[in-house]
Structures are given as C-alpha cells and as structure tokens.
Amino acid sequence: MDKKSIIEKAVDESLSAIAISEPLGKIIFVNNAFLDFLGYTSKDEVVGRFANEFWIPSDHENNVTVSLTKTGSYFGELEAVKKNKSILNVVAQFSISRSLSNEIEYIIFSFLESANRKSITDSIRETENYFSQILDSISDLIFCKDSKFKMTYVNKACADYLGLKKSDLIGTYDIPENKQEFIEEYHKIDSFVFQEGKQVKIEKEPHLGKDGLVRYFNTVKTPIRDQYGNINELVAVARDITDSEDILGKLKLITEITSDYIYTAKIINGEIIADWSSGNLSKIVGYTVEDIGNIGGWINIIHPDDIGKIENRVAEILQGHVGVSEYRVLAKSGEVVWIRDYSKPLYDEFGKLSKLIGASKNITIEKEVETKLKESNERFKASLEASLESIYFLSIVKDNHGTIIDFTFNEMNEKGSINLGVPKEELIGKRICELYPINLENGFFEQYKEVFLTKQPLEQEYTIPDGYYTPGYFHHIVLPTTDGVVIYNRNISDRVAKNKELETLVQVTNRQNERLREYTYITSHNLRAPIANILSLCNLLKDDPGDQVLVQMIESSAQQLDHMMNNLNELLTIEKDSHSFVKKEIHLKKEIQNQLLLYVSDKSNQTKVDVIIPNDLVLYTIPVYFESIVNNVLSNAFKYISQKSIGYIRIETKESEDFIILSITDNGIGIDLEKYRSKMFKMNSRFHPNIEGKGMGLFLTKYQIESLGGKIEVESQVGKETSFHLYFPKMQRTNV
C-alpha cells in the first residue's frame, strides 16, 4: 500500500471530522467522521462542493481569510451547517499546505464540537499508538519540539537518519555532532515559530549527517496550538532536496488529527474497564471514571432499554471491530443523555487485544431535534392527508445547459393522486409535462417555472376541459421551494355551479323587476287612452241614452281594454326557464284596426285614417309589446294632429329581407329634428310643452321594439308631417 493510501485510510478511520480542499476551497476529500459530523451519508454529497458552504458566513469568514493569509492557519469557533440545515457550534482548525515553490496546494479543515474540544497535541498523544506506524511509514524526517527545543517526538525515518533509536532521541535537546552554527540557526527559526505563531519554510537547511557529510533539507516548521490557541510545540518535516515527492500536505493532515470526548479502557480477560477519560465525561454524565468504577462500571448507568445495544457492541469490540453505537445513559442528575460512541480496539506488541480508545459525543439535543422532526413529519403527513386540497411537491428538471425543462412529482397526498387518477407510487419521480401535456398546453409549466425563479407565489382559478380525468373548475396556489414548487389545488366546480345558479337567479330577478317596471309604465301610459275614450263616450251617452251606436262603441272600447289587460297579464307571466316571453302570431291589419277603435274624440272624428296593409299579413311577436308600441305612436299622431286643416293619418307596411316595416304618418305639427333628434327617445323628453304629456311614450316604444330585435326611425318637418317607421323582425320563432 502506498503512502497516499495509508494516509487516506488513516484519515478515514479518524474520529475527527476532516476535509481537504483545493486552494480555492473546492473539496477534494472528506473522511467518514466528517460525513457523520454534518449528517451526510455519502462522500459524493460533499466532494466537489466549496468548503464555505458548510459554515454560516459572518465575521468569522473574514477572520479565517485573514488568519490563513497571515499565518497559514486558523483556530476558532464557527457555526457549522448540517445537511438538515441545523446549526452546530464547532471549534475549527484550518491549515494551509504549500508546495516547494511556496504555492498553496491544499487547505485542511478539522472540526470539533465546541462544548467538547480537546487540544491537538493531547489527542495525538492519546492516539500515538494508533498513528505511530503510519508516521513511521513516511520517509520524510518528522520531529516535534517544545518551546525549550527539546525533542518530544521523532519518526523512524528521523531516527534512522541520525543512527539512533527513537527512544534515545525523545527528550534530547540537540544533536551534539551537528555544527554549532547550524544549531543556532535552528534555534533562531524555532523561536520565531513560537513567538510569531507562523509557519516557516526553509528551502535549503544544512545538516551534518551521521556519515559526517552535510546534507540539505527542505524543511517546514509549523506551530501546534492547543485548545486555547497557545503554542506549546512545533512540528518539523524535513526532506532531502533530492527527493521531489511533496508529502507536506499529508503530514499536516496526520499531525492535526484531533478527537473529542476521548477515553481509554483496558481489556482484561474479556472485560472492558475504563481507566481514563477527558474532563468532558463528568460534564456530560456527572460521573468521573473513578465514580463509574465505584458503582460497578459503565453498564450500570446505561438506560435499561439500551443494554442490549451495549452488549452487542462489546461483543464486536472483543472481536476487534471498530464501530459506532448510539445509546442512552442515566446521568447523575437523573437526566437521560444520548451518547454517540466511536470506539477502536488496540493491540499490544504481541498482537493481543489489550486496550480500547474511543470518543464520545453528547447527542441529546440532536436526538431531541430528531424526535421533534419525526413528530413534525408525522403531523405534516397527517395534515397533508387531512387537507381539503390536493397537494403536490414538485422539483425542477434541468437539461445539460441548466435550463428548466420540466418538474417531477416528489410527494403528494392521497387526494392528489385520486385527482390525477393514478396511484401515488406510479407518479413519484415522473415528469408532469410528460404525463399531463395540459401543463404545457395551458401554460401551467411556464407559470410554475416563473414561481420558482422569481420566488413569487401564484394564485388563480382555471378550467380542466372535458376529456381529462377530472374536468371542471379548480383553484390553486403555487408556492416556491428550494428545489421546485408546492401546489395546493382545490376543485371548485360545485362553488362555480352555485355561483352561476345565483347569477341566473339575479338575472331572473332583474328581468322580473324590469318587467314589473314595464308593466307600470304600460299600465299608466297605455290605459290612459281607452279609459279616456270610455269616459268620453259615457258623457255623450248621457245626452242621448238611447243611442245604440254609442253603446256599441263603449262595448268595443271595453272589450279592447279587456284585451289589453289580458296582454298585460302575460307580461308578468314568465316561463319555467325564466328566460323568455312567449311570442304569438297576430294579424297585423286586424290589430291596427282594434287599436284605432280606442281613439274616439272630436279630433278622431275630424281625422281621416287610411290603413294600407294586406289582409293576410301576419307578424310573429309579443302582443303586449306590439300593442304598446302602436298605441304610443298612434296616440302621438292623434295628439299632435294639425289644427289648421283636416287631420290625416296613413298607416302602411313594407317588407325588407329581415323586417316588416310599419309606417305611421300624420300631417300634424311636426318635430324640429335638428333641435330634438338627440333627445327624441330619452325618458321625460317633451317637444311641445303646450300639449299634455308625460314624455314616456317614445322612450318606452324604443325600448320595447329594440327588445324585440327591431328598431324605430323618425322623419319630420315642422308644420307639415311626421312619419314613424317601426321595424318588426320577420317570422323568427324565438323568444326573448
């Protein structure tokens, strides 16, 4: 196995969260502890992303940048962002690894939880037996010194180079055989590292070898900070300049490995007995290692429901398996504390399982959050299914150019799948536009895309046409999410139908009110003439009670009045569909002659009336409207008849392709059309104030003939004549 593989394997098995990035921050490697620390399950989820995505940008980021720029390292607290977006306060240590040309090759990131950090040097010592073989496999000379320049660690390559044993070198201050000027220069550089806290690189450092020859090394000396930021040691990596392989980044990675919640235990005759732990153990459970020994061991504070887990893990440890377990302990305070325990069995020089090293973490808050999240998810699912709406969660689909080309179903409630007519399991993961092209045809896809891109919600009503699984009227709300949209969709067909029914009722009511108004107008206006006629005839009858002609005329007027009242009653009768009056056939000439019987007065006796209408001409219309229209025009003809000459009224018909045109012409006083044309058919308009009238007749006439689909036109010359042309639609058996 090459050095790279050895180091990566060591890092993967490390209990610390470690990541390595390129100079610009793009991550190229993470270990398993990093994935566990931030809640990821696969390295593919992290590798390729930028390191600053995993902490919250703040002034810390500026501090990190400044520190890395000035000293090549950073040590401090940050807020890390887990995969589930929760925040974790951590202690972070970042370091820069440089090449021989002093260019940045890697940035190494190491995370520890704030409440449980431990110094790097202590952690390395705790795991020295574990990492010693790895460091000894590196051909570079690796050694550590304290502030008095005493050797605290050397690797095998360093000892071999000097021709001594590792144990003989550790504790010594300098190599006596070395040249004094070399030693003075070492001390000068070492002092600078301790005082300034900066990494120093010596491109060509001389050293007197055991063979008496001076050799030159490319040496990097780096300060080692404890958990309080103090520099108590430095680590040096020296490489013969003839060896071009640069393993500085890998060395830095190994020397900066840290662990939190460290403990050790002895394995004696198949029994695990804790013999040391960091101080954080008592902070977590309230017991020291000694306290736990006095109460009969760790097993006695395990939650009863989790003892089985511990027994299984102990069996794995005794078989030499590295592993992770999560369980609950009963703290001294009585609280239940969740522990995540990382443990690794160690072997002695004879290959016998003799010791256990591990790191524990208090994950109570994490478990509480997990429980609350689970409860929240259950509530969410219950709410989802109880909702009156169909609910769909959609995620975007992009092409190779990054363009959004569709959405896929991520989740939905049961109502959603029923609404689409397809089982939920057949919809999840499928594209909506492929399954339902209506999303493209009706522009829904573009609207959903706009919501996602602009983060602006959409609310609207729309129609699904016949031919689809659930045609009808719908109302939906579309909200943006981080990866797509969520749609709340409700079928409002019943509501729309009720609204339409209500609108119909309103229209019917309006029509009824309108007809009642028409009834009032017609009653007050049209009945005036026949009633006045009867009264006049009755006055004449008083002078000659035996005049049978007058009696017949009174009878005729009464019959005509009765006929008019029957037609008025029809005006108030609406068919079951509430949409129409019934049209009937009338014989035009007969109806005109009946209308003329109503006009018995001095003027009518002196007026010549010509009716030029074919005997068989039939009109299909609403009788009450026809009577009202003709009555109003005839009433005006008799009212405004000429006072200077014998009165004359001509009633005649013509036919066009679409209309029967009834013209009524009189030789009356006429109307000044230049002055009054714009007011001719308006309500309360009168053109001869000296003649009695209400100004309603022509207004009502225009309204009624237009309701029949016809029109009215007028021609007039002042002092000569006036002609009204009434256009009645031909035989069209449709109701209004």
The DSSP bridge pattern shows strands 141-146 and 151-154 to be antiparallel
* Measured distance CA(48)–CA(61) in Å, rounded: 20
- Predicted local distance difference test score (pLDDT) of residue 576: 35
> In this predicted model, which residue has the larger pLDDT, 702 or 384?
702
Residue 233, SS3? Answer: strand
DSSP calls for 59-120: HHHHHHHHHHHHHSEEEEEEEEE-TTS-EEEEEEEEEEEE-TTS-EEEEEEEEEEGGG---H
pLDDT band at 349 (very low <50, low <70, confident <90, very high): low
SS3 of residue 25 by DSSP: coil
pLDDT at 728 over 90: yes
pLDDT over threshold 70, residue 196: yes
Q: Over 70: is that where the pLDDT of 652 sits?
A: yes
Percentage of the chain beyond pLDDT 90 is 17
**Where is pLDDT greater, at 108 or 278?**
108
The vertex-214 CA angle with 209 and 217, nearest 5°, equals 85
Residue 365 pLDDT class (50, 70, 90 cuts): confident
Residue 689 confidence (pLDDT): 53
Q: What is the rounded distance in angstroms from the CA atom of residue 695 to the CA atom of residue 688?
A: 10
Q: What is the mean pLDDT of residues 558-587?
A: 60
- pLDDT value of position 699: 75
Q: Is the pLDDT of residue 292 over 80?
A: yes
Q: Check whether 359 has a pLDDT greater than 60.
A: yes
| pLDDT computed for residue 396 by the predictor | 92
Instruction: Print burial letters for 307-328: b (CB count within 10 Å at least 16), e (below 16).
Output: eebbeebbeebeeeeeeebebb
Strands 607-612 and 647-655: parallel
Model pLDDT, residue 106: 83
| 651 pLDDT higher than 90 | yes
Q: Which of 130-134, 237-241, 389-393 has the lowest mean pLDDT?
A: 130-134
Backbone φ, ψ for residue 97 (5° rounding): -110, 130
Q: Tell me the percentage of the chain whose pLDDT exceeds 70.
A: 76
Which among 613, 570, 616 has a CA at the least distance from the CA of 595? 613
pLDDT of residue 259: 38
Locate 456 and state its tokens. 């602006």
Of the ranges 112-116, 477-481, 523-527, the best mean pLDDT one: 477-481
Instruction: Return the pLDDT at 126.
Output: 46
| Rounded (10°) angle between helices 493-526 and 548-571 | 170
Closest CA to 358 of 431, 437, 260, 289: 260
Q: What is the pLDDT of residue 404?
A: 93
Q: Tell the residue number behind the tokens 């039939």, with chain if given.
A: 618
If one counts every other C-beta atom within 10 angstroms of the C-beta of residue 464, the result is 18
In the predicted structure, residue 452 carries a pLDDT above the cut 70: yes
Three-state secondary structure call for residue 356: strand
Q: What is the pLDDT of residues 176-190, one digit of tens each?
A: 667 888 888 889 999
Per-residue pLDDT reduced to its tens digit, 590-640: 999 888 877 755 455 678 899 999 999 999 998 888 988 998 888 888 888
**pLDDT band per the 50, 70, 90 thresholds, residue 457:** very high
Angle between helices 3-12 and 128-136 (to 10 degrees): 160
Strands 87-98 and 73-81: antiparallel
- The full DSSP string for 108-170 is EEEEEEGGG---HHHHHHHTHHHHHHHHHT--SEEEEEETT--EEEE-HHHHHHHTS-HHHHT
pLDDT digits (tens, 9 = 90+) for 9-41: 667 766 678 888 888 889 988 888 888 888 999
Other beta carbons less than 10 A from residue 94's beta carbon: 22
Residue 397 in this model has a pLDDT that exceeds 60 = yes
What mean pLDDT comes out for the span 646-669?
A: 91
For the segment 494-521, the average pLDDT, to the nearest whole number, is 70
CB proximity list for 174: less than 8 A, separation 6 or greater: 149, 183, 186
Q: What is the pLDDT of residue 340?
A: 86
Choose the weakest-confidence range: 74-83, 369-378, 666-675.
369-378
H-assigned helices in 473-605:
493-526, 528-543, 548-571, 588-596, 602-605
Task: Reply yes or no on whether the pLDDT at 5 is more than 80.
Answer: no
Quick one: CA dihedral 178, 182, 186, 187, positive or negative?
positive
Please list the alpha-helical segments (H only) found in 655-708. 673-676, 697-707
Q: Which two tokens stand for residue 560?
A: 């005509």
Q: Which of 73-77, 107-111, 327-331, 468-472 has the highest mean pLDDT?
A: 327-331
Q: How far apart are CA 601 and CA 609, in angstroms?
A: 14
CA distance 29 to 301: 38
**Which residue(s) pair with 342 in the sheet?**
324, 359
Question: CB-based burial of residue 89 (10 Å sphere; 0-12 exposed, 13-18 middle, 19+ buried)?
Answer: exposed
Residue 545, class by beta-carbon neighbours within 10 Å (0-12 exposed, 13-18 middle, 19+ buried)? exposed
Q: In the structure encoding, which two tokens stand for residue 547, read together?
A: 């005049």
Phi, psi (degrees; rounded to nearest 5) at 277:
-155, 160
Whole-angstrom distance, CA of residue 626 vs CA of residue 593: 13
Average pLDDT on 104-132 reads: 61
User: 130 or 95: whose pLDDT is higher?
Assistant: 95
Query: Rounded to an integer, what distance in angstroms lies between the CA atom of residue 728 and that of residue 736?
Result: 14
Q: 281: Cβ–Cβ under 8 A, 6 or more apart, which residues?
A: 261, 263, 287, 288, 289, 360
Whether pLDDT at 717 is above 50: yes
Give the Cβ contact number of residue 419 at 10 Å. 20
What is the distance between the alpha carbons of residues 624 and 387, in angstroms, rounded to a whole number?
57
Which pLDDT does position 603 carry in this prediction? 53
pLDDT(255) > 50: no
Average pLDDT, the chain: 78
Using pLDDT thresholds of 50, 70 and 90, give the confidence band for residue 681.
confident
Rounding to the nearest 10 degrees, give the CA dihedral for residues 41, 43, 45, 47.
160
Residue scoring higher pLDDT (229 or 49): 49
pLDDT the model gives residue 256:
35
Residue range 251-275: mean pLDDT, rounded: 64
DSSP 316: H
Q: State the DSSP code for 578.
A: S
